[in-house]
Each structure stands twice: as structure tokens, then as C-alpha cells.
């Protein structure tokens, strides 16, 4: 997961490969609640691991359910008839799929609870559900704005007698989650009579109700309905664990990869975990994608998508049946040859953010003309490369905004797209960007590299690692390659000299080196500390003067150039290894400063050192590194020199970031 302030997506062109999608959020949280209300233990396979499921699991644990995580299986031992722990303060983040059903279930179980979330959760309506529960006789109070969380369920004395004789009325035209919440929870009260729920107003998002009914059936509760307006929970209904449940992959998450297959050139994308027979309504996104031009094939647990018609064609669609996935259509619309109108999407206004306003605003930043109304959005395409603008996409703490705008990186202008706060995808798909990068093919020159070269102890490694971290880029410590090669040579009994050049080069070509969790392994051996001694540095300097060894390490270093970008530090990153890098920095500091830094670094690690010896050593190393025949240490012609003798680490990092950011098209667009 990227935890950076923003993520710059380089321009993308092709996609190819197979993707296994995370579990559906809607199914995951419904299954968790049903398992929690059942007797016995339910094994849940492929549960989505995300912010929204975590808050649900924590709430269930607090209420007294058994929650046990064992690899890919989560075991929930339900309350059965037991009373949940009361007097709790449950924090539910921004998870509507936890807030609504838990409100209903806890109101029907008795006890006292406070339910709250992040500020946006407190702006998302829940009044219609509370009204329905109050009608029944439940005691629920608003702790802030009436109609919105936070809430207090105040039934310290247990449950008041419920008025179940009349049908329970609930509005269906704001969010189908209110009806879902009642359907999931009301079997708790069905011991002695049928319970009837009547929907007031047109029911939106029916496909989500289909999921609810399917899952209730899996847990032994057969709800009848008439025309989606009147639902009956039969008398004597009881939650019965099916023993195990497999969660389908998320069909809404699939929409980004269906769109990817439709937009990207090449043979297309295969999606595993969800197929055309999915119980999730958003699977019908595939029909909309087909209408725009995608070629979609599918089977029981898979989809295969490739580009068909190109450019895509605009559509005019009532999206009531695919409210979440429809956002993806709004970005696909940019690649069409006629406008796209998405209708009946009023529910977008009460989701993680006002999604109609958000989509319109961000699409306009890319250069598109957008019309919006209370319940529709119309997007005009950007047919010519010159129509596109570089943009920094604000994501409103809305995972879907972040994910669907990543598709703008396929723009024909070859512009990168900045996604702000990429971490927001954690709500449903923490590894979304990693998954995207694993499928797309990008010409190497499009993958940015920042080179930081310079003499020893100038702070290259420190600064490069920090810059990489801020940008979400990979990090190549090329010096480590030479250090490891020198160590491997000595362990193999090879003296580091010209006579053994070819043997050492052969060793370097097949170096079994592995980087994992901040450690470096040579074969199975953790050599992270062994290669950091001053002696290892000097040996590295010697081995690096052998031309055949340098050549042998080129491919290994090039392999680090991966999406979304790379920061590489060393001696010849800008001059030899990545000569086309868009930013090259030559980082240096006075010999006195460098000796002092190295001294402090060694002392802090408990290694004794003498500052005069260190200075003499580093000057000797500078001389050897700068005077060798192949790839000597020197600033690239187009490098920016940064003498950080009198800068703090943070100032040096900031300077490199400033140089980088001012070169990005987004910055230019903002300034220009
Ligand atoms: N302004 C600065 N910039 C970078 N590093 C600094 C700075 N001031 C002190 N240092 C310290 O210098 C030491 C050497 O840095 P390092 O990144 O290992 O250098 P290199 O990779 O160039 O050999 C580290 O302990 C680092 O914390
Ligand atoms: N790209 C590179 C990186 C390092 N080397 C050589 C020269 C250096 O003295 C050694 C060790 O490099 P390293 O960057 O790890 O050393 P310092 O941290 O700067 O002391 O490897 C090189 O020749 N080319």
C-alpha cells in the first residue's frame, strides 16, 4: 500500500496478465454480521482485508464474538442466543456497511452502545433507518446532528416490547443499506410472527438487496418479497451457520480491470475470483463496458477483457443497478468518441463524498467538459492528445475516486497523473496500485529515475532512501551491489585484483542477491551488516574498478527500473546506468564534513573509529573512484550539484524533491 502524500502514475500504454482480486466488501461485512448472529463457528474464506472489514471485526470482537484469524481463513464464533457485551463505544471509521447493520442489530439485541465514525461518517444519513427502528419501539438517540451518526442505542433495561404487528416502513430511495440493515437484523425478532417490511419510495440499488437475500439464505433465512416493495421474514427464522463461506472477489473492484482491458492496448486482462455468474450487482458493469466497446468473456469464476472498439463509444445509461462501478464509466468516457451520460445516480451524493461533484471537478482538471445535475453526470471525451491536461487528482478520502482516475494515465498525451492520498484505497483494495502496476507494461523511458551520485559519506544513501519513500518509488543502493560482489568474491577465495576480474565478473552475473524487508541476503545469508563495514566499502571500491565486474552488474541494476519510479544512488547512476534519467543530482560535502558524518555513524553503531583515519580513507576512496578508467565518479553533464555541507538531512531531501517536483507537468500546469 502506498502511504505517500501523492502517487505520480507515469503515462501507461499496455496491460497484460492475470489479476486475483480481493474479496467483496459488501459480501464480507454482511457475512461477518450474519456469522456473528449465528450459533456456532463459521469459517470465512477470502475475506476482504481492508479498513471497513477491520472495523467490523473489531466491533464483533468487542461485542463478545469469537474472531480468530488463521491465514486466509477467519473463524467467527457467533453470539447465538447470547447477549452481547454492553456499554460499548464502537468506532466504525467510514464504513457504512458496518454502521447501518450494526445499528439495526444492536437496537434489536438490547443494551447500551455508542456508535461513531470519522467526520464524513457523521455526514452520511442514517435517519430513515433510525425512524424505522424507532417505529418498532427501539430507543435510539442522535448524539450530534439529528438524522446522522454518532448514535446512542439506549436500552439499558433490555429490549422494549416491539411493535411487530404492522409492516415496518423504510425509505428505499436514499440508500438500500437501510433495508439491508433491517433484513439482516430483523430475524432476531421473528420467533413468534412473520415480520413484514415495506419499502417507501422506489428502491434504489436493488442488486445490493439481492446480495443480502442470497446471503441470508446461506444462513438459513428465506426472505420472501413482492415486487421489491414488501419483504417478509418468516416466523421462526433462525440464523444457522453454513459452516464455511467463500467470499467472492469484489465485482466493483473488478470494474477498474475490466476498464483497463478495454482501454489498454495488447491482449488484455484476465480477472480471477469473480465471474459472469456473480451474485454482485456490479458484475453488470461488464454490460456497460461492452456497450462502450470492450470485448468481455467470462465463466464461473473468471473474466477476460480486451480492447474491442477504439476509440470507445459514449453511452447513455441508467446506472441505478451499478452505482459504484458506474464511476469507472465516467473515466472511460474520456476515451470515447461521443459524450457519455450516467443517469439515476443521486446516491453518489451521499457516498464517501459527494461523488457527482467530485467526479465533475476532477474530470474537468483533466481537460474534460462535464455537465452535472442532481442525479446525472455527462462527460464529453478528450479525443485529441492536445485536449488533455496534466492534473493532480484530489481523492476526497474516497477509494473509488482514486482507483478510477488511475485509468487516466492511459491518456494519448503521455501525461503522468497525480493521485493525491493514494492510501484511501485501503477502504476496499489496499494493494490496488501494486496490482495495477503488475499488469501494465510501460516503455522503460517512461518510468522515471532520479539519480543521486556522489562521493562516500556525502549522504547519498540517506537522501535517496528518503526521496524514494516520499514519492513511493523503489530504491536502488547500487553501492550495495559492489559491496556484495566483493564479499562474495572473498568468500569464494578470490583475491580482488585484475587477475581475478573475469572470475569475479562471472560471480557477479549470477549473484544470488535478494532484498527483503530492509535486509539484504546473499543466498540464504543475511549480509546486511557484513557489507556495511569500512573494510567492505574499501573492497567494494576495489572491485568496482574492474570493468568486467561493472558490466556484469548492469542488468541487475536496470531491473530496478519498475513502476511507479526509482531513486538510484551510487557513483555512475546518471553517467552510465540511467543516462536518460530526468533528474540527476550530484551530492557532495566537504571531506571534513564527510569524515565527521561517517565517524558519528560508526560510533552510533558501536563501532570504534578514528576521524583522521576515516578522512584519509575516504580521500583515498574518492581518488580511486574518480580516477578509474571505467565509469569514474564525476557529475553527469546535466547533473545538478548539491553541496550539503551546511544542510540538514531534511533540507537536502527537500531540495531534491523541489527539483523533482518543479520538473513535473502538473507543477508546470499549476504555475503556467
Ligand atoms: N545533510 C546531510 N545529508 C545527508 N546525510 C547526512 C547529512 N548530515 C548528516 N548526514 C549523515 O551522514 C551519514 C552518511 O550518510 P550516507 O547516506 O550513509 O552516505 P553515502 O550513502 O553517501 O555514503 C549518515 O549517518 C547521515 O545520517
Ligand atoms: N554506482 C556505484 C556505486 C558504488 N560503487 C563503488 C565505489 C564505492 O567506493 C563502493 C561502495 O559504494 P557505496 O555507495 O556503498 O559506498 P558509500 O556508502 O558511499 O561509502 O562501490 C561504484 O563504483 N559505482
Question: Mean pLDDT lowest for which of 140-144, 553-557, 604-608?
Answer: 604-608
Annotated binding site for 3-phosphoshikimate: which residue ranges? 25-26, 30, 175-177, 205, 324, 351
Distance 465 CA to ligand 1 centre (A): 11
What architecture does CATH give domain 6-22+249-441? Alpha-beta prism (3.65)
Determine the Cα angle at 305 with ends 382 and 326, to 5°. Answer: 55
What DSSP element (H or E) covers 45? strand 41-45
- Per residue in 520-576, pLDDT (tens digit) is 999 999 999 999 888 999 999 999 999 999 999 999 999 999 999 999 999 999 999
Protein residue with least CA distance to atom 19, ligand 2:
456
- Per residue in 266-278, pLDDT (tens digit) is 789 999 999 998 9
- Per residue in 4-26, pLDDT (tens digit) is 999 999 999 999 999 999 899 88
CATH annotation of 25-246: 3.65.10.10
Cα separation, 636 vs 574, in Å, equals: 6
What percent of the chain has pLDDT above 90? 85
What DSSP element (H or E) covers 377? strand 376-379
Cα separation, 151 vs 145, in Å, equals: 10
Determine the Cα angle at 430 with ends 211 and 361, to 5°. Answer: 85
Instruction: Write down how long the chain is.
Output: 672
Cell triple for 412: 494519448
Q: In testing the pocket of ligand 2, which one of 453, 457, 482, 486 has its CB within 8 Å of the most ligand atoms?
A: 482
User: Would the CA dihedral through 128, 129, 130, 131 be positive or negative?
Assistant: positive
The answer to whether 402 and 529 are in contact (CB under 8 A) is no
Distance 665 CA to ligand 1 centre (A): 31
Q: In testing the pocket of ligand 1, which one of 453, 457, 476 has its CB within 8 Å of the most ligand atoms?
A: 457
Question: Is the pLDDT assigned to residue 670 strictly greater than 70?
Answer: no
- Per residue in 619-658, pLDDT (tens digit) is 998 999 899 888 889 999 999 999 999 999 999 999 999 9
What mean pLDDT is reported for the chain? 94
| pLDDT value at residue 628 | 86
What mean pLDDT is predicted for residues 500-507? 97
pTM of the predicted model as reported, rounded to 2 decimal places: 0.86
- Per residue in 435-470, pLDDT (tens digit) is 999 999 889 999 999 999 999 999 999 999 999 999
- Per residue in 60-103, pLDDT (tens digit) is 999 999 999 988 799 999 999 888 998 999 999 999 999 999 99
The answer to whether 126 and 149 are in contact (CB under 8 A) is yes
Q: Is the CB of 462 under 6 A from ligand 2?
A: no
Q: In testing the pocket of ligand 1, which one of 460, 544, 597 has its CB within 8 Å of the most ligand atoms?
A: 597
| pLDDT value at residue 668 | 64
What ranges do the domains of the chain cover? 6-22+249-441, 25-246, 445-671
Alpha-carbon 118 to chain mean position: 19
Cα separation, 456 vs 596, in Å, equals: 12
Question: Is the pLDDT assigned to residue 245 strictly greater than 80?
Answer: yes
| pLDDT value at residue 456 | 92
Cα separation, 267 vs 14, in Å, equals: 9
In CATH, which of 3.50.30.30, 3.40.50.300, 3.20.20.450, 3.40.50.150 is domain 445-671? 3.40.50.300
Catalytic site positions: 324
Same-fold call for 6-22+249-441 versus 25-246: yes
Protein residue with least CA distance to atom 9, ligand 2:
541
Give yes or no for a cis peptide into 499 (omega within 30° of 0). no
Q: Is the CB of 593 under 6 A from ligand 1?
A: no
- Minimum-distance ligand to the CA of 571? 2
**What's the number of CA atoms in the CB half-sphere (13 Å) around residue 75?**
8
The confidence band for 672, taking pLDDT boundaries of 50, 70 and 90, is: very low
Burial class of residue 20 (count of CB atoms within 10 Å of its CB; 0-12, 13-18, 19+): exposed
Residues 6+ apart with CB under 8 A from 36: 60, 63, 65, 76, 78, 79
Residues 6+ apart with CB under 8 A from 543: 482, 485, 486, 489, 496, 504, 549
Strand partners, 90: 115
Annotated binding site for phosphoenolpyruvate: which residue ranges? 25, 96, 124, 177, 355, 400, 427
Q: Is the CB of 456 under 6 A from ligand 2?
A: yes
**Can you tell me whether residue 526 is helix, strand or coil?**
strand
For 368-385, b/e burial (b = at least 16 CB within 10 A) is bebebeebbbbbbbbeee
DSSP letters for 415-436: --EEEESGGGGGGT-TTHHHHH
Amino acid at each position: 500500500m502506498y502511504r505517500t502524500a501523492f502517487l505520480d502514475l507515469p503515462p501507461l500504454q499496455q496491460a497484460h496478465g492475470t489479476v486475483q482480486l480481493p474479496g467483496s466488501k459488501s459480501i464480507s461485512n454482511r457475512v461477518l454480521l450474519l456469522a456473528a448472529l449465528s450459533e456456532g463457528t463459521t469459517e470465512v474464506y477470502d475475506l476482504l482485508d481492508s479498513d471497513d472489514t477491520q472495523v467490523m471485526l473489531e466491533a464483533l470482537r468487542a461485542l463478545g464474538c469469537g474472531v480468530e484469524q488463521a491465514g486466509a481463513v477467519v473463524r467467527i464464533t457467533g453470539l447465538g442466543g447470547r447477549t452481547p457485551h454492553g456499554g460499548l463505544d464502537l468506532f466504525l471509521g467510514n464504513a457504512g456497511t458496518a454502521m447501518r447493520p450494526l445499528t439495526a442489530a444492536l437496537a434489536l439485541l438490547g443494551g447500551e452502545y455508542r456508535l461513531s465514525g470519522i467526520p464524513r461518517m457523521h455526514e452520511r444519513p442514517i435517519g430513515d433507518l433510525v425512524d424505522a427502528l424507532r417505529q418498532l419501539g427501539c430507543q435510539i438517540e442522535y448524539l450530534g446532528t439529528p438524522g446522522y451518526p454518532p448514535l446512542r442505542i439506549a436500552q439499558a433495561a433490555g429490549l422494549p416490547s416491539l411493535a411487530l404487528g404492522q409492516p415496518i416502513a423504510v425509505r428505499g430511495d436514499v440508500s438500500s443499506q437501510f433495508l439491508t440493515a433491517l433484513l439482516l437484523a430483523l430475524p432476531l425478532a421473528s420467533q413468534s410472527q412473520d415480520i413484514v417490511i415495506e419499502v417507501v419510495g422506489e428502491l434504489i440499488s436493488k442488486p445490493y438487496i439481492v446480495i443480502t437475500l442470497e446471503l441470508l439464505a446461506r444462513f438459513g433465512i428465506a426472505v420472501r418479497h413482492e415486487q421489491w416493495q414488501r419483504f417478509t421474514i418468516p416466523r421462526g427464522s433462525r440464523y444457522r451457520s453454513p459452516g464455511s463461506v467463500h467470499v467472492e472477489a469484489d465485482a466493483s473492484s473488478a470494474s477498474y480491470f475490466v476498464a483497463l482491458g478495454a482501454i489498454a492496448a495488447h491482449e488484455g486482462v484476465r480477472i480471477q475470483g469473480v465471474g459472469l455468474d456473480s451474485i454482485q450487482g456490479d458484475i453488470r458493469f461488464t454490460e456497460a463496458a461492452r456497450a462502450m466497446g470492450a470485448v468481455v468473456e467470462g465463466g464461473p469464476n473468471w473474466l477476460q477483457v480486451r480492447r474491442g472498439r477504439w476509440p470507445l463509444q459514449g453511452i447513455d445509461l441508467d446506472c441505478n443497478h451499478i452505482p459504484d462501478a458506474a464511476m469507472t464509466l465516467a473515466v472511460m468516457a474520456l476515451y470515447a468518441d461521443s459524450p457519455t451520460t450516467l443517469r439515476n445516480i443521486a446516491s453518489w451524493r451521499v457516498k464517501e463524498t459527494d461523488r457527482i461533484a467530485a467526479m465533475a471537478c476532477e474530470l474537468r482538471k483533466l481537460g474534460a467538459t462535464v455537465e452535472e445535475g442532481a442525479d446525472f453526470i455527462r462527460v464529453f471525451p478528450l479525443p485529441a492528445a492536445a485536449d488533455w491536461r496534466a492534473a493532480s487528482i484530489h481523492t476526497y478520502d474516497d477509494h473509488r475516486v482514486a482507483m478510477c482516475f488511475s485509468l487516466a494515465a492511459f491518456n494519448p498525451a503521455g501525461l503522468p497523473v497525480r493521485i493525491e492520498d493514494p492510501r484511501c484505497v485501503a477502504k476496499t483494495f489496499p494493494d490496488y496500485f501494486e496490482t495495477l502496476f503488475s499488469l501494465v507494461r510501460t516503455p522503460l523511458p517512461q518510468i522515471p529515475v532520479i539519480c543521486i551520485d556522489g562521493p562516500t559519506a556525502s549522504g547519498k544513501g540517506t537522501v535517496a532512501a528518503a526521496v524514494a519513500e516520499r514519492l513511493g518509488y523503489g530504491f536502488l543502493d547500487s553501492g550495495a551491489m559492489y559491496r556484495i560482489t566483493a564479499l562474495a568474491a572473498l568468500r569464494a577465495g578470490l583475491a580482488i585484483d585484475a587477475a581475478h576480474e573475469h572470475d569475479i565478473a562471472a560471480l557477479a552475473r549470477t549473484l544470488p542477491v535478494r532484498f527483503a524487508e530492509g535486509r539484504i541476503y546473499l543466498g540464504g545469508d543475511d549480509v546486511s551488516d557484513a557489507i556495511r563495514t569500512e573494510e567492505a566499502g574499501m573492497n567494494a571500491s576495489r572491485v568496482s574498478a574492474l570493468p568486467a565486474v561493472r558490466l556484469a552488474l548492469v542488468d541487475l541494476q536496470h531491473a530496478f527500473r519498475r513502476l511507479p519510479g526509482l531513486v538510484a544512488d551510487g557513483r555512475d547512476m546518471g553517467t552510465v546506468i540511467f543516462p536518460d534519467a530526468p533528474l540527476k543530482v550530484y551530492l557532495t560535502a566537504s571531506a571534513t564534513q564527510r569524515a565527521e558524518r561517517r565517524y558519528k555513524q560508526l560510533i552510533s553503531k558501536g563501532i570504534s573509529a578514528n576521524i583522521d583515519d576515516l578522512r584519509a580513507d575516504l580521500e583515498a576512496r574518492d581518488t580511486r573512484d574518480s580516477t578509474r578508467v571505467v565509469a569514474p565518479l564525476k557529475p553527469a553533464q546535466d547533473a545538478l550539484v548539491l553541496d550539503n555541507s551546511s544542510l540538514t538531512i531534511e533540507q537536502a531531501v527537500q531540495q531534491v524533491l523541489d527539483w523533482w517536483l518543479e520538473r513535473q507537468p502538473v507543477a508546470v500546469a499549476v504555475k503556467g
